[in-house]
A and B are shown apart, each in its own frame.
Chain A
Amino acid sequence: MTARDDLIEMIGEAPVFRDLSPDMIAKLAGCARVEHYDAGAVLIRDGQPAETFFAIRHGKVALELAAPPHGRLVLQTLQEGDVLGWSWLVPPYRWAFDGRAVTLVRTLSFDARGLDRLMGEDTQLGYRLLRELVTLMANRLTTARMQMLDLYTPRGD
Chain B
Amino acid sequence: MTHQSRVRPDQPAVPLTDPPNADPMLPRLFRVRAVTQEVSDTFTLDLVPEDGRPVPFQPGQISMLYAFGVGEIPISISSDPADPSVLSHTIRAVGKVSRALADLKPGAMVGVRTPFGTPWPVAAAQGSDVLFLGGGVGIAPLRPAIYRVLAEREKYGNILILYGARTPEDILFRDELRGWRSRFDLSVRVTVDRATGSWSGRVGVVTQLIKGGGFDRMHTVAFVCGPEVMMRYGVHTLNDHGITNDRIYITMERNMKCAVGLCGHCQFGAELVCRDGPVFRFDRIAETFAIREI
| Interface residues in chain A, defined as those with a beta carbon under 8 Å from any beta carbon in chain B | 60, 62, 73-77, 79, 81, 102, 142-143, 146-147, 149-157
Sampled A-B contacts (21; CB under 8 Å): A62-B195, A74-B195, A74-B199, A81-B211, A102-B200, A143-B204, A143-B205, A146-B205, A146-B207, A147-B204, A150-B166, A151-B135, A151-B230, A152-B135, A152-B164, A152-B166, A152-B193, A152-B227, A153-B166, A157-B94, A157-B98
Interface hits, B207-229 → A, CB 8 Å? 207-208, 211, 226-227, 229
The reply to whether A73 and B94 contact each other, CB–CB distance below 8 Å, is no
CB distance from A50 to the nearest CB of B (A): 22
Which residues of the partner chain A approach B73 to less than 8 Å between Cβ atoms?
Answer: 157
Interface hits, B6-39 → A, CB 8 Å? none
Bound together, the chains give a CA A60 to CA B208 distance in angstroms of 14
The reply to whether A77 and B166 contact each other, CB–CB distance below 8 Å, is no
Which residue of B98, B165, B233 contacts A152 across the interface (Cβ within 8 Å)? B165
A151-B166, A157-B96 known, 5 other contacts, Cβ within 8 Å: A146-B233, A151-B193, A151-B229, A152-B166, A154-B92
Which residues of the partner chain B approach A60 to less than 8 Å between Cβ atoms?
Answer: 202
Could you tell me the dominant secondary structure of chain B's interface residues?
mixed
**What total count of A-B pairs have CB within 8 Å?**
69
Question: Does chain A have a CB within 8 A of B41?
Answer: yes
The reply to whether B41 and A74 contact each other, CB–CB distance below 8 Å, is no
Question: Does chain A have a CB within 8 A of B150?
Answer: no
Bound together, the chains give a CA A154 to CA B203 distance in angstroms of 20
Bound together, the chains give a CA A152 to CA B172 distance in angstroms of 12
Which residues of the partner chain A approach B164 to less than 8 Å between Cβ atoms?
Answer: 152
Bound together, the chains give a CA A92 to CA B38 distance in angstroms of 47
Question: Does chain A have a CB within 8 A of B170?
Answer: yes
The reply to whether A152 and B136 contact each other, CB–CB distance below 8 Å, is yes
CB closest residue in chain B, given A152? B136
Which residues of the partner chain B approach A155 to less than 8 Å between Cβ atoms?
Answer: 94
The reply to whether A73 and B195 contact each other, CB–CB distance below 8 Å, is yes
Bound together, the chains give a CA A152 to CA B191 distance in angstroms of 13
Bound together, the chains give a CA A146 to CA B234 distance in angstroms of 12
CB distance from B203 to the nearest CB of A (A): 5
CB closest residue in chain B, given A60? B202
Bound together, the chains give a CA A134 to CA B26 distance in angstroms of 58
CB distance from A142 to the nearest CB of B (A): 8
The reply to whether A154 and B233 contact each other, CB–CB distance below 8 Å, is no
Bound together, the chains give a CA A62 to CA B170 distance in angstroms of 20
Which residues of the partner chain B approach A81 to less than 8 Å between Cβ atoms?
Answer: 211
Which residues of the partner chain A approach B191 to less than 8 Å between Cβ atoms?
Answer: 77
The reply to whether B203 and A74 contact each other, CB–CB distance below 8 Å, is yes
Bound together, the chains give a CA A73 to CA B230 distance in angstroms of 23
Which residues of the partner chain B approach A153 to less than 8 Å between Cβ atoms?
Answer: 166
Bound together, the chains give a CA A154 to CA B202 distance in angstroms of 22
Which residues of the partner chain A approach B136 to less than 8 Å between Cβ atoms?
Answer: 151-152
Bound together, the chains give a CA A147 to CA B203 distance in angstroms of 10
CB closest residue in chain B, given A72? B195
CB closest residue in chain B, given A145? B205
Bound together, the chains give a CA A155 to CA B254 distance in angstroms of 13
Interface hits, B73-127 → A, CB 8 Å? 73, 92, 94-98
Question: Does chain A have a CB within 8 A of B194?
Answer: yes
Which residues of the partner chain B approach A147 to less than 8 Å between Cβ atoms?
Answer: 193-194, 204-205
The reply to whether A150 and B94 contact each other, CB–CB distance below 8 Å, is no
The reply to whether B97 and A157 contact each other, CB–CB distance below 8 Å, is yes
**Ranked 4 nearest A-B pairs via Cβ:** A157-B95, A152-B136, A156-B95, A74-B195
CB distance from B161 to the nearest CB of A (A): 17
Which residues of the partner chain A approach B227 to less than 8 Å between Cβ atoms?
Answer: 151-152
Which residues of the partner chain B approach A79 to less than 8 Å between Cβ atoms?
Answer: 202
CB distance from A107 to the nearest CB of B (A): 18
CB distance from A78 to the nearest CB of B (A): 9
CB closest residue in chain B, given A81? B211
CB distance from B62 to the nearest CB of A (A): 13
CB distance from A15 to the nearest CB of B (A): 9
